[in-house]
Structure 1
Amino acid sequence: MESYADRPWLKSYKLGPFKLKTAIEYPKKPLFTILDETAEKFSGKDAYYYFGKRMKYRELKRQVDKLANALIALGTKKGDTIIVFLPTCPQFIISDFAILKTGAILVPCSPLLKAPELKHQAQESRAETIICFDKHLDLVNSVKSGTMLNNIIVTSHEDYSPAESEEIREIPGTYHFRKLIADHEAKAIDVKIDPTDDLAILAFTGGSTGVPKGVMITHYQRLANILQGLPWMMAPFPTYRGSASSLLSVPIFHAFGHYIMQSSIYWGLRVFLIPDPRDTNMIVQLMNEYRLFLVFMVPTQLLKLAQPEIEIKRMPVMVMSAAAPLPAEVAQRLEEKIKMPISEGYGLTETVVSHINISAFAKVTRFATSPKPGIGLPVPDTDIKLVDPDTGKEVPFGDVGEIWLRGPQTMKGYWPDAGSGLEEDGWLRTGDLGKMDEDGYFYVVDRIKDMINISGMKVYSIEIDECLFKHPAVVGAVTIGIPDPERPGSERIKAFIRLRDDFKGKVEAQEIIDYCREKMAAYAVPKFIEFRDDLPLTVTEKIFKRALREEEIKGMKEKGEI
């Protein structure tokens, strides 16, 4: 009898008439070599586009080498941790590769963090150096006490943009990013790195389900994951390398955005940088003007693009969604505009990318197949099994189970202990529930923590969300379970809905409930509906279900209901 260990998805490793590799060789070399090699092969190609300003790959490498020497002059040693507290901008890319070249460890932190969150990550990572915008200097100084932060390197929103000033304004107690680069040579740095053991990245989880944890990623693990993505998927089309463009609208400090940036560098792409992921106008303008080949987004961004008032031209673009499940209704609305299918990927901070839906990609490459929904196929050399959370046993094909995975891209462990967070034999429990079809394509059903228990019946919140999105008045929806005061241990379903502007004040909660009753089992129908103009988002643009749940429970306690 076939099992998950047989990797039944390998039979679907094909792009149109082309068969894709079922296994890959992963070189054991430092991660920063991907920039060195691209700068040599595509030296005159644009590395990025930022507010209309571009930089060639050869110049990007020179800037990186100069900053790496500057960091060493400041006392940076192999194994040190350096926080990059920046949004999507060229300075992040330069910092990323410069830090790697010194043998230090990059700690990407969201510039949307509040003081307590930044202080926690600074304390946990034991970072002595931080790179930030000058407008965040007061925040950084407010958290220095109780941390090891010593060196503060500042830059600005205008740096590396058309608005950049020739004058460098130095701030006492800090080092200026551009001055450090100007004052140091682009000399080669001799640091011995063991790619399989030495850390390249210490990325903190989003914290949407608990306290953020530091995820340790080695040079080898990240390079392996890069090779499992675009280079594997696009192997039949080598001419795209060094000639195509990508749009980075996912924040670069997010694990997926960071991965996409590094993958684009490896492939010699011109990366269009979106500083503000909420700037829908900039995203649309760049898509329409430059007809980009690859566009990476999260579902909340795609939801905005799918709105009727947003005009996007028909174009041969590959749009990939990740970081959260993409409602089928949203994908369909956008597909009708651009006349191309929307693909999905899947991963965690602990792995970044473990699945890619290549069925949608076939049409972009002019080898049309029938696109399949869902997160797609496990990438090469990745083992997946679906496990019953209650029994610990593998579930039959087609049944729902928790997604367990392992592969060369799986983290070294949670900081600072190697192996922590991993099960026996290196398996990572994702906390996500999924199922696999007969072709080896996977589908996420829900997170275990988001699954709702109605008197012992399992209800998947994502399925309710999908139903709500199909209602013509609904533009956004999220479902949670809240305690049932009448049945201890059971829950009730509450849905939060954002209506289209032309439906506001015209739709009642009961109408939504009746609509769900026609589409779903009685026990899965929401008991409560609340209309909101805005839904809380995490720093990575995911809908923050935990915040909604905590808010509801607090309110119920204040009313004496629980």
Structure 2
Amino acid sequence: MLTTAASSYPDRLAICSATRELRYRDFDRAVDRLAAGLRSRFSGAAVALTSVLDPDFAVAYYAVARSGNRVVIVNPLLPAEVLTHVLGVSGAVMLFATPALAGRLAGVRDRLPRLADVVLIGPDASSAGEETLSGFVASSPAEPVGGTPAVAEDDVAVVQFTSGTTGLPKGVLLSHRNVTVNAAQVAAAHHVTGSSVTFNYLPTFHPMHLNSAVCAGATQVLCDSRDVVDSVRMANRYGATHYYSLPVRLARLAVDPRLAGLRFETVTVIASGGSALSARATTRLAEHFAVPVIQGYGLAETSPLTHSDDPRRPQLSSVGQPVADTECRVVDVDSGRVVSTGEMGEVQVRGPQMMVGYLHQDEPATDPDGWLATGDVGHLDEDGRLYLVDRIKDTFKCDNWLVAPSEIERVLERHPAVRECVVVDLPHEFSGAVAAAFVVLRPEADTADRPALAAGISAFVNEAVASYQHLHHVAIVDEIPRSANGKIQRRDLRAAMLAHHDGR
């Protein structure tokens, strides 16, 4: 995709941030040079890449793929324990990391014997005193050793990790075909063309936004400001046409007292993704800016997009119809039969963007007919639009990050006062949901000051997990209710937690 865009639009601005600009010709050349350096060291290896919102990520992403290696996407907010798992199970031999991530890695580096090199990327890389991306390129051959590797469309290009419900994250294997097909699907669904300027107001660089813009030959603008109002002004300055952000940021913009003085001059659509944006925030922004606010749906297993609302005909609270060449059906959770229009059930999808499979797992990724069970509950309307209702699995999203309660529970259980615990999601106006816990104390625990003890338990956990996994509320209880067969009913516990929180 990049080579085609560079050939067609060599002088067009491809990616820019507050400190750097890359035109397509220079972008492609930078990828070629880095790919040559990677090829001189590795072939068919796993190269991990921190998804920092910076042009360095884009260059390294395409260079790893072009060199005949596979990209392992690493969340820059991972705590050391999960980072060790991701790098270890993927077999990463090299890591492109931010200085902050490299610092967390230092304490566990001895547990990763296959990891040979760490190269710093991002705007702060040059001040950290370690090898940087530019230094790596300067010390590498200008031409690939052994020539350019042959890459087949069904070869694995990307390993994208996703949280499980009962254990550590597992790797999703995406082929070159998966990635390129979905790039075209996203560009078509969002009406991204060569004249578009996509604006990424996101905490990390998601390959979906990178690939769809490159596929269309569009310009990408990266905004890392913490102030949502700054992002609107920057979008106007660059003539943005597509404004991409997260529900948590858009929800905050909708209630910001400065909203009345803001206008979009060139933006034609606001796109929210990752989790649900409330109908109230959606309506407020759409009415204020007089542009459609759309949502989509997808999974790591689907490269990721399967559905998108149509900017020309937005439907409130829907994630839209399937993208091109993609099918969706809803089946009964127990029997697996296809249900009628409007009836609730598990969402299943199939299409050319379906993953190759899971890392180190031999079972098929889909059923014999190619259908992928998503684990989400929803229903379809008569026009094939999908409405999501609930999750079968117990994970939830906080600030667009997928949170597995079991990961937090494992940390909670290490606290000396905790005998038993269950983590559930608590609704939050801006973050979508946050983690909250029911805790049963050990008999020997000091209960003289329960509020202080609860605060101490929260602090213990929050020091050991990523920010989006932080506990926001701890309820100390005598016992955790269970069903007759001894199972925890998280749906009932969520309601109990909400009542407990509201009644404080």
Question: Quick check: TM above 0.5?
Answer: yes
Work out the CA distance in 1 between the residues paired with 2:212 and 2:50: 21
Distance 2:194 2:327 in 1: 31
- What residue is the counterpart of 1:265 in the other structure? 214
CA distance in 1, matches of 2:471, 2:360: 28
Q: Provide the C-alpha distance between the structure 1 equivalents of 2:214 and 2:38, rounded to a whole number of angstroms.
A: 22
Which of 142, 151, 154 matches 1:193? 151
Q: Distance in 2 between matches of 1:208 and 1:303?
A: 27
Task: Please provide the CA RMSD for this pair.
Answer: 3.0
| C-alpha contact 1:86 1:131 (8 A) present in aligned 2 | no
Q: Which residue of 2 aligns with 1:324?
A: 275
TM normalised by structure 1 equals 0.68
Tell me how far apart the structure 2 counterparts of residues 344 and 498 of structure 1 sit (CA, whole Å).
18
**Relative to 1, partners in 2 of residues 1:497 and 1:128: Cα closer, same or farther, differing over 3 Å?**
closer
Q: 1:217 aligns with which of 174, 178, 181?
A: 174
Paired position in structure 2 for 1:178: 134
CA distance in 2, matches of 1:285, 1:403: 39
Asked if 2 retains the 8 angstrom alpha-carbon contact of 1:203 and 1:215, the reply is yes
8 Å CA contact retained: 2:77, 2:101: no
Q: Is the 8 A contact 1:83 1:129 kept in 2?
A: yes
Query: Which of 65, 72, 82 is the aligned partner of 1:117?
Result: 82
For the residues of structure 2 that align with 1:215 and 1:279, how far apart are their CA atoms?
33
Cα deviation, residue 182, structure 1:
2.8
Contact 2:202 2:224 in 1 (8 A): no
User: In the superposition, relative to structure 1, how do residues 68 and 441 fare at CA in structure 2: closer, same or farther (>3 Å)?
Assistant: same
Q: For 1:370 and 1:39, locate their aligned partners in 2 and report how far apart those are by CA, in whole Å.
A: 33
Deviation at 1:110, TM superposition (A): 1.1
- The aligned counterpart of 1:149 is 115
Count matched residues. 417
**1:282 aligns to what SS in structure 2?**
helix
Answer yes or no: is the 8 Å Cα contact 1:434–1:446 preserved in 2: yes
How far is the alpha carbon of 1:55 from its aligned partner? 1.4
Deviation of 1:138 after TM superposition, in Å, equals 2.9
Contact 1:135 / 1:156 at 8 angstroms: preserved in 2? no
User: Gaps (5+ residues) in structure 2?
Assistant: 398-404, 406-421, 431-461, 482-504
Distance in 1 of aligned mates of 2:164 and 2:332: 25
Letter in structure 1 aligned against 2:209: I
User: 1:341 touches 1:371 (CA, 8 Å); kept in 2?
Assistant: no
Give the corresponding residue for 2:35. Answer: 68
Q: 1:244 to 1:186 in 2, by over 3 A?
A: farther
Change (3 A) 1:307 1:191: same
Output the amino acid matched with 1:103: G
* Larger relative contact order, structure 1 or 2 (CA cutoff 8 Å, min sep 6): 1
For residue 241 of structure 1, what is the amino acid of its counterpart?
T
Q: Which amino acid aligns with 2:263?
A: K
**Which residues of structure 1 form unaligned runs of 5+?**
1-33, 235-239, 363-368, 452-460, 463-479, 481-490, 500-535
User: Within 1, Cα distance between the matches of 2:372 and 2:255?
Assistant: 37
Shift of 1:60: 0.9
The residue identity in structure 2 corresponding to 1:43 is P
CA distance in 2, matches of 1:494, 1:90: 35
* Cα deviation code 1:50-83 (max 9, x no counterpart): 115311111111111111111122x2112x1011
Deviations 1:425-445 (A, max 9, x none): 232111111111111111111
Q: TM-score, normalised by structure 2?
A: 0.76
Give the letter aligned to residue 111 of structure 1. P
Q: Identity rate of aligned residues, in percent?
A: 27
Which residue does the alignment assign to 1:19? Answer: none
For the 8 Å contact 2:95–2:117, the answer to whether it is kept is yes
| C-alpha contact 1:252 1:258 (8 A) present in aligned 2 | no
Distance in 2 of aligned mates of 1:288 and 1:94: 26
The offset of 1:317, in angstroms, is 2.2
Structure 2 residue aligned with 1:305: 253
Q: Is the 8 A contact 2:39 2:67 kept in 1?
A: yes
Aligned to 1:40: 7
SS state of the match for residue 424, structure 1? coil
Cα pair distance change 1:291/1:208, threshold 3 Å? farther
Structure 1 position 250 matched with structure 2 position 202: yes
Deviation at 1:561, TM superposition (A): 5.4
User: Is 1:438 the counterpart of 2:404 in the alignment?
Assistant: no
Q: Once the two structures are superposed, what CA deviation does each residue of 1:475-508 show, in whole Å capped at 9, x if it has no partner?
A: xxxxx9xxxxxxxxxx9x9965559xxxxxxxxx
Cα distance in 1 for partners of 2:345, 2:429 equals: 31
Specify whether residues 314 and 250 from structure 1 end up closer, same or farther in structure 2 by C-alpha distance, changes over 3 A only: closer
- 1:106 is matched with 71
Q: Is the CA contact (8 Å cut-off) linking 2:14 and 2:218 kept in structure 1? A: yes
